[in-house]
């Protein structure tokens, strides 16, 4: 049997003349999320009415993980006639659990003969008599919603929270450094909440990308895909960088590697139509994340660097990771590049020193070498299909970067 839901948005409603674009994106994302469930979605007076075929808990889970949804509820849709509304409200009330209730009636269809207060009064009296619940207009256990619209009446009780934010895709793409630790998946989730579609970039330590493909990295990708839809991951080998920087000062090493990662993301961005870089940095959480070292990371970038966790403390990050179901995966044992970077870095690295090392070691050219050896991974959460192939092949097959952009001045393009 089809399941009906009323879906409300919040921030989307504040978009003024641009609101239709955001509503359209939300409808599109809900349709994708409910793929295989014969979804039918229509916009009705500031809300979305959703019909889908499938188990109620699964339908609710898919709606509840779609960014842009403020809250939603199972709903009954009837004709705008008291003879139709009354029995449905009584049935809804009898199934509710609580000792007190109120009827919240809203009449947007002014042709309906009763005003909102009159609808609430009549239905409230009948519910009280039929169920024995008492009326409480201030702190009721149960709220029975009756929305009378021009296209029919929507009845529902109880609200389930959605993730809020903006529909994914409305704010463009970002290239996101993805370590697989606690922070970067939360950063990805927050970027999606602001409407961005992440392209994940992970530097792996193993001899081949297969170890990363078989690790928590792809399992985390699957979890995040339940919020953002189809996902793209670029696995970049660390070995060439490690060989190129043998003998460098230990105290410079973390900032130098972070600069190299940023340069790689900057070179990849045009190929994926990305307009910014994102990281999981939290200010002063680690020595590499002080203001001075963040400045060394950003020096020379031609793209904005976004840090959604900048003001979060570790407990806040962990709390969010638990809530979005990435924490348990993030703490699984996995040897990444950071495991072999010095644990005694400077807290105030000079950006000029990092830039000098980049030039001296030829890291601009090295960026393109590691990209040539990178692996492109795509995952479709609707089919469960994960594909991987050499990134170089995909780049050669393409007609060029998605968004025309010259190679950044900090990255030496190949001849």
Secondary structure of 279-322 as H, E, C letters: CCCCCCCCHHHCHHHHHHHHCCCCCCEECCCCCCCHHHHHHHHH
Task: Look over the chain and give the mean of its residue pLDDT values, rounded to a whole number.
Answer: 91
Could you tell me if 25 and 141 lie in one domain? Answer: yes
64 burial type by CB count under 10 A (0-12 exposed, 13-18 middle, 19+ buried): middle
Could you tell me if 177 and 221 lie in one domain? Answer: yes
Contact 257, 177 (CB under 8 A): no
Q: Residue 80: which pLDDT band, with cuts at 50, 70 and 90?
A: very high
Contact 90, 132 (CB under 8 A): no
Could you tell me if 149 and 180 lie in one domain? Answer: no
Lowest mean pLDDT among 254-258, 346-350, 376-380, 403-407: 403-407
Could you tell me if 181 and 132 lie in one domain? Answer: no
Q: Residue 339: which pLDDT band, with cuts at 50, 70 and 90?
A: low
Element housing 129 (H / E): helix 116-131
Q: Is residue 207 assigned to a domain?
A: yes
How many domains does the chain fold into?
2
Per-residue pLDDT at 403 exceeds 80: no
- pLDDT value, residue 401: 67
pLDDT digits (tens, 9 = 90+) for 85-128: 999 999 999 999 999 999 999 999 999 999 999 999 999 999 99
C-alpha–C-alpha distance, residues 34 and 229, integer Å: 11
Could you tell me if 151 and 180 lie in one domain? Answer: no
CATH code of residue 182 = 3.40.50.620
Task: List, in sequence order, every residue forming a beta bridge with 142; answer none if it has no partner.
Answer: 101
Mean pLDDT of 374-403: 87
Q: What does the DSSP 8-state code read for residue 164?
A: -
- pLDDT value, residue 340: 63
- pLDDT value, residue 296: 87
- pLDDT value, residue 287: 81
CATH code of residue 110 = 3.30.2130.30
Nearest to 263 by CA among 349, 322, 203, 212: 203
C-alpha–C-alpha distance, residues 306 and 309, integer Å: 9
pLDDT digits (tens, 9 = 90+) for 326-335: 999 999 988 7
Could you tell me if 273 and 377 lie in one domain? Answer: yes
Determine phi and psi for 338, rounding to 5 degrees. -65, -20
Per-residue pLDDT at 407 exceeds 60: no
Q: Residue 206: which pLDDT band, with cuts at 50, 70 and 90?
A: confident
CA 126 to chain centre: 44
Percent of the chain predicted with pLDDT > 70: 94
- Per DSSP bridges, beta strands 173-177 and 160-161 are unpaired
Which domain range does residue 18 map to?
2-161
Mean pLDDT of 41-54: 92
Nearest to 367 by CA among 271, 228, 273: 271
* Sequence-ordered list of residues with C-beta below 8 angstroms from that of 198, at least 6 positions apart, any chain: 173, 174, 175, 176, 178, 188, 191, 192, 224, 228, 231, 278
Mean pLDDT of 185-214: 96
Q: Is residue 183 assigned to a domain?
A: yes
pLDDT digits (tens, 9 = 90+) for 177-191: 999 899 999 999 999
- Its pTM stands at 0.90
Q: Is residue 167 assigned to a domain?
A: no
Per-residue pLDDT at 130 exceeds 50: yes
Could you tell me if 323 and 177 lie in one domain? Answer: yes
Mean pLDDT of 200-228: 95
Q: What is the three-class DSSP state of 31?
A: helix
Residues 359-386 as b/e (b if ≥16 CB within 10 A, e otherwise) read eebebbebbbbbbebbbbbebebeeeeb
Q: What is the three-class DSSP state of 57?
A: helix
Q: Is residue 402 assigned to a domain?
A: no
pLDDT digits (tens, 9 = 90+) for 244-296: 988 877 778 889 999 999 999 999 999 999 999 999 999 888 888 889 889 88
* Sequence-ordered list of residues with C-beta below 8 angstroms from that of 365, at least 6 positions apart, any chain: 412, 414
Per-residue pLDDT at 413 exceeds 60: no
Could you tell me if 22 and 157 lie in one domain? Answer: yes
Per-residue pLDDT at 165 exceeds 50: yes
Mean pLDDT of 169-198: 96
In terms of DSSP H, where are the helices of 336-386?
351-361, 363-372
Q: Is residue 36 assigned to a domain?
A: yes
Per-residue pLDDT at 411 exceeds 60: no
Mean pLDDT of 215-237: 96
Q: Is residue 415 assigned to a domain?
A: no
Q: Is residue 124 assigned to a domain?
A: yes
Q: Is residue 408 assigned to a domain?
A: no
C-alpha–C-alpha distance, residues 268 and 371, integer Å: 8
Percent of the chain predicted with pLDDT > 90: 80
Could you tell me if 186 and 144 lie in one domain? Answer: no
Could you tell me if 270 and 367 lie in one domain? Answer: yes
- pLDDT value, residue 343: 60
Per-residue pLDDT at 408 exceeds 60: no
Q: What does the DSSP 8-state code read for residue 194?
A: B
User: To the nearest 5 percent, what fractions of the chain are helix, strand and coil?
Assistant: 40, 25, 35
């Amino acid at each position: 049997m089809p399941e009906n839901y009323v879906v409300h948005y919040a921030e989307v409603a504040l978009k003024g003349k641009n609101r239709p674009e955001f509503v359209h994106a939300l409808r599109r994302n809900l349709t994708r999320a409910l793929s295989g469930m014969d979804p039918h979605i229509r916009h009705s007076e500031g809300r979305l009415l959703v019909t889908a075929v499938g188990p109620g808990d699964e339908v609710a889970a898919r709606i509840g993980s779609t960014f842009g949804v403020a809250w939603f509820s199972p709903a009954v849709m009837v004709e705008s006639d008291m003879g139709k509304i009354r029995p449905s409200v009584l049935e809804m009330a009898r199934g509710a659990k609580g000792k007190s209730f109120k009827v919240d009636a809203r009449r947007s269809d002014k042709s309906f003969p009763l005003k909102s207060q009159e609808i609430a009064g009549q239905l409230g009296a009948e519910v009280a008599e039929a169920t024995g619940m008492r009326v409480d207009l201030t702190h009721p256990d149960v709220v029975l919603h009756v929305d009378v619209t021009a296209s029919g009446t929507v009845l529902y009780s109880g609200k389930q929270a959605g993730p809020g934010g903006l529909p994914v895709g409305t704010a463009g793409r970002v290239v996101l450094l993805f370590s697989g630790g606690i922070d970067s998946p939360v950063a990805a989730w927050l970027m999606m909440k602001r409407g961005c579609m992440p392209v994940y970039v992970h530097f792996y330590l193993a001899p081949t990308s297969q170890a990363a493909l078989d690790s928590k990295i792809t399992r985390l990708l699957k979890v995040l895909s339940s919020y953002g839809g189809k996902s793209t991951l670029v696995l970049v080998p660390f070995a060439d960088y490690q060989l190129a920087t043998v003998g460098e000062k230990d105290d410079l090493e973390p900032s130098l590697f972070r600069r190299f990662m940023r340069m790689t993301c900057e070179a990849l961005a045009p190929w994926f139509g990305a307009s910014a870089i994102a990281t999981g940095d939290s200010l002063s959480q680690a020595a590499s994340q002080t203001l001075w070292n963040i400045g060394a990371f950003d020096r020379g970038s031609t793209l904005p660097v976004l840090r959604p966790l900048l003001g979060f403390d570790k407990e806040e990050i962990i709390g969010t990771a638990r809530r979005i179901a990435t924490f348990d995966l993030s703490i699984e044992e996995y040897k990444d590049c950071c495991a072999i970077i010095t644990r005694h870095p400077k807290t105030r690295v000079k950006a000029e020193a990092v830039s000098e090392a980049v030039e001296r070691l030829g890291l601009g050219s090295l960026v393109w070498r590691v990209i040539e050896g990178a692996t492109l991974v795509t995952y479709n959460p609707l089919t469960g299909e994960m594909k991987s192939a050499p990134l170089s092949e995909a780049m050669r097959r393409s007609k060029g970067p998605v968004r025309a952009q010259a190679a950044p001045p900090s990255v030496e393009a190949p001849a």
